Structure 1
């Protein structure tokens, strides 16, 4: 497990000696956050058994918990953990078959919707990915930030980042997307970005509650980022 300290590697190897724990971690390799009940389904384990394994993985520092409202979502604690899990699974010592967690979210709402006053859904996640790949956004564990190139991009789009920072709210905090289970961008910048997309008719509201539609103009304009 190159890059993982020996003590951490030994702890991981000991914990992954259990097939259920390995399957739980394997189910999180796609980067999505999942609830305990979803991980129990993925590992084909009881809720009580899964809870016990999650406590062990949390205590060992292999998992991170995101608390949002009444819900607790689990993710891998770091890329190093993901690398260790993949390395261990590559040994072929045991099966890593995880059942796919079913989704009941309608496709239209999963693709694009509002989350309070900012963009959510797969479109939001893809857009953030494009902004990050092009060096316009950077991120930490809790928030996004504009790079110098991102500041210039905002000026080009008519978004006054300086004025947004002076508002009495967080600038660009992460908000866990409940359908995609990855963070999208909230705060004053997230709200301004949605306003920009609506004003330019890149997305439009539909009759479905909170659901947005990507317009042909939006698909064309946002193609470099998606």
Structure 2
């Protein structure tokens, strides 16, 4: 089993992330808990920028599950055609909207189990909603976080679940709320998959990754 970085090193890494971006924000546009849930569900295998382009006009018109049901599946499809797997995602959004109306009075539940029971909502989606809307220290591990966690040895692991637990175990409590956003942003803009920008990385001296790209 690969050992994580020492606790004091991880603390210093997140102190630097915090100094650079004290209040990191998710990049998916939304106006309430419901539109956040829909946006995250639509973002699977798609970019945040692509989802935002598709949902701006949609969320200006549809911001509750009741309105989504009134729009209907075909109406939703017309808004999200540019997003990958749009037909299956439209079916799931309509299904989850119906469940929210019938079982939760149109409100988005704040329970991970309840969220994960919704069509098209996995653990990562549930964790994003819990973190971004309710401010809970839930760690949503995407491809960026999985890569950064393993490269830096902040949270090494062979599966998403192991990396999620490693973040919870290894990152100091005061950094838990924003940990996944700092890691996502680091992976998206600096610690890129093919050409990591090690030359401008703020944690270069603390990172064990050998390929310090010139």
Give me the TM-score of the superposition, normalised by structure 2: 0.26
Give the number of the structure whose alpha-carbon radius of gyration is greater: 1
Taking CA–CA contacts closer than 8 Å with sequence separation of 6 or more, which of the two structures ends up with the larger relative contact order? 2
Give the TM-score taking structure 1 as reference length: 0.25
